[in-house]
Amino acid sequence: MQHTGFTLIELLVVVMIISVLTAVAMPQYRKSLDRAKAAEAVQLLPAIFEARERWMIEHGCRWTDDGYTCADDSKMTFGKLDIEAKGNITTDTNTLSNNKLTTPY
């Protein structure tokens, strides 16, 4: 009598191999996701900065030492937008500091 199929040991070996591959690949996948999110955030910074500038112009705002304030000080006050993206994402560091976007190139 001939049996077809897989033994329990063969199935366990396959499950172990898949588990090891997943354990090795998952951190790299997460790093890749983090790099993609950081790259997207850096790409969105100029658009955020420009939208804020347009809003300031439309609402008659001006820059002050502690950020910027609307022409009528009772309307609204904002703080500065200081964002710096750095780390192992890329070799470049893009900085939005003191309300100016700077790139290393």
Q: Domain for residue 93, yes or no?
A: yes
pLDDT top residue among 95 and 39: 39
pTM for this entry: 0.46
Q: d(Cα 31, Cα 46) in Å, to the nearest integer?
A: 24
Q: Domain for residue 4, yes or no?
A: no
Q: Domain for residue 2, yes or no?
A: no
Q: d(Cα 18, Cα 24) in Å, to the nearest integer?
A: 10
Range of the domain at 84: 9-102
Q: Domain for residue 15, yes or no?
A: yes
List pLDDT tens digits, range 47-77: 888 888 888 788 777 766 666 555 554 445 4
Return the pLDDT at 81.
53
Evaluate whether 41 touches 77 at the Cβ level (below 8 Å): no
Number of domains in the chain: 1
Q: Domain for residue 71, yes or no?
A: yes
Evaluate whether 104 touches 92 at the Cβ level (below 8 Å): yes
List pLDDT tens digits, range 9-56: 999 999 999 999 999 999 999 999 999 999 998 899 888 888 888 887
Q: Domain for residue 1, yes or no?
A: no
